[in-house]
Amino acid sequence: MKSKENLEDLKKLKKIISYEEKPSKKFLKNGLEIILTTDLRLEKNILKIPLLRIYGSLDSLVPKKISKILDKKWPESISIIIEKAAHIPFISHKEKFCSILLEFIKKFN
């Protein structure tokens, strides 16, 4: 995924989340521990609000095939796959992402 666009998106993301100081190893380890040990999928079932799931067709971290699995598990939710987007479509495809999000919000407003 070393296309020019992806490298530009990565630069933008780094700028957005840049820190004056690097986070400590303890902080990073604690964050990773939360990710590894916390599963909120069951809690989703208690939510009584609309759920929109947006995926990138080229995402290698959260592959698009997971959308079909969750479509079956959460049929009341909406999933959309943005073509030619990877893991950060809100940066790489911001206009498409915002358009999808605004249309979703309008449905429930």
Q: Is residue 94 part of a domain?
A: yes
Q: In this predicted model, what pLDDT tens digit does every residue of 60-76 receive, in sequence order? A: 889 999 999 999 988 98
Beta bridge partners of 78: 52
Is 24:52 a contact under the CB 8 Å cutoff? no
Does the structure show a pLDDT above 60 at 2? no
Q: In this predicted model, what pLDDT tens digit does every residue of 34-59 receive, in sequence order? A: 989 998 878 877 888 899 999 999 99
Q: Is residue 50 part of a domain?
A: yes
Q: Is residue 56 part of a domain?
A: yes
Q: In this predicted model, what pLDDT tens digit does every residue of 90-99 receive, in sequence order? A: 988 999 999 9
| Number of independent structural domains in the chain | 1
Residue 77 sits at the vertex; the CA angle it makes with 72 and 78, to the nearest 5 degrees, is: 100
Q: Is residue 28 part of a domain?
A: no
Share of the chain above pLDDT 70, in %: 94
Q: Is 55 exposed, middle or buried (0-12, 13-18, 19+ CB in 10 A)?
A: buried
What's the rounded mean pLDDT across residues 19-39? 87
Beta bridge partners of 80: 54
Tokens 């067709």 belong to 57
Q: For residue 9, give its domain range.
A: 3-19+42-107
Q: Is residue 36 part of a domain?
A: no
Q: Is residue 26 part of a domain?
A: no
| CATH number of the domain to which 53 belongs | 3.40.50.1820
**Token pair for residue 32?**
């990773």
Q: Is residue 57 part of a domain?
A: yes
What's the rounded mean pLDDT across residues 3-26? 77
